[in-house]
Amino acid sequence: MIGTSLEVVALALVPAILWGLAPIFDKRGMAAGGGSIQAALVVVVVQLVWYWLAVAILYGDSAFAGLTLEILAVFAFAGVIGTALGRIAIFVGVDRVGASLNSTILSTRPLFATLIALAVLGEPLGPVTGVGIVILVAGLSTLAISRGGDLGGWTPRDLLWPILAAATFAVANVARRYGMLETPLSALEAVTINETAGLIALVGYALAVGGRDVLERPRSSYRYFAVSGLLTTVAMLSLMAALGLEAGRIAVVDPLVATAPFFTLVFAAALLRDLERVTKGVVVGAALVVVGAVLITI
């Protein structure tokens, strides 16, 4: 049991570290002349290459057995909302406010998931959840006055981008949760459908707003986004592996994964000194947001 628990901790810390590092490459890519739509396309394409390869190796001809039209629509909806819209908002947020602030605010996803559950499902708010919400909001307020993040400066309005990303991911996660409860598909098969639908939506949007012009970006930006996509892929596979273990309970895994903003702060302070400022206010705000998110999750 102890060995299994240590394995869960190790597997859960991998996505925390990698999702903490990926925003650093996102910021470098945006600073190198990259665009939000281009970044989202590159990251999703890199992920899908590995997801489809894993599905082919692990499941072969039996892949997606039991998939119904209803469940396909659910995962497709989640892909359009989370993978397409959410990722575009992420990259705009990284560009506007910086990797450190953007990563921290993305950790507010449990807040939006809780509000959705309250409004749609009528689930009551427990005292621990209420305390978590108060602490999380205090963290956001601290971030707003921290004067950290992008050295070029930002306005409170720019914080709406990572907040939008957090909200879209929360909506998508609720849809994914429903889909997973109603289908025999594995998490890998589900995320593959989800990301494929997101890619289709991203390609359609790119063609509508700019066509090939969207992809005419410096080569160096593509390298940064490709690395970000690879880090995200490994993080997701490690997360699924952690949740797949007998001891991989959500209450254990989620709080560990939620530490990703702290890793982003460390990486930003060391690797983005020419682009970002990590102030004491950012550190305090990140701590409050993470604590609040963990309490809401529990």
Q: What is the pLDDT of residues 254-274, one digit of tens each?
A: 778 888 899 999 999 999 999
Q: pTM score, two decimals?
A: 0.88
Q: How many CB atoms lie within 10 A of CB 90?
A: 27
Look at residue 252 and tell me whether its pLDDT is greater than 80. Answer: no
**How many angstroms from the chain centroid is the CA of residue 80?**
14
pLDDT of residue 63: 92
What is the dihedral sign for C-alpha 284, 89, 97, 100? positive
CA distances from 154 to 10, 160, 206, 235 (A): 36, 11, 26, 30
User: Torsion-angle region of residue 6: left (phi > 0), alpha (psi -120 to 50) or beta?
Assistant: alpha
pLDDT tens string 207-239: 998 777 888 999 999 999 999 999 999 998 888
Q: What gap in Å lies between CA 99 and CA 128, rounded to an integer?
A: 29
Res. 1 pLDDT band, cuts 50 70 90: very low
The residue-averaged pLDDT of 77-93 equals 93
The residue-averaged pLDDT of 171-196 equals 85
Question: What is the DSSP annotation of the chain?
Answer: -HHHHHHHHHHHHHHHHHHHHHHHHHHHHHHTT--HHHHHHHHHHHHHHHHHHHHHHHHGGGTTTT--HHHHHHHHHHIIIIIIIIHHHHHHHHHHH-HHHHHHHHTTHHHHHHHHIIIII-PPPPHHHHHHHHHHHHHHHHHHTS--EETT---GGGGHHHHHHHHHHHHHHHHHHHHHHT----HHHHHHHHHHHHHHHHHHHHHHHTGGGGG---HHHHHHHHHHHHHHHHHHHHHHHHHHSTT--HHHHHHHHTTHHHHHHHHHHHH-TTTEE--HHHHHHHHHHHHHHHHHH-
Closest CA to 165 of 14, 20, 40: 40
Chain-wide mean pLDDT for the chain? 88
Structure tokens that stand for 221 in this block: 């930006």
Total structural domains in the chain? Answer: 1
Look at residue 291 and tell me whether its pLDDT is greater than 80. Answer: yes
Q: Which amino acid is at 90?
A: I
Closest CA to 68 of 169, 223, 185, 218: 185
Apex CA 89: angle with CA 84 and CA 94, to 5°? Answer: 130
Q: What gap in Å lies between CA 82 and CA 167, rounded to an integer?
A: 9
In the chain, what percentage of residues exceed pLDDT 90? Answer: 51
Residues spanned by the domain of 165: 2-297
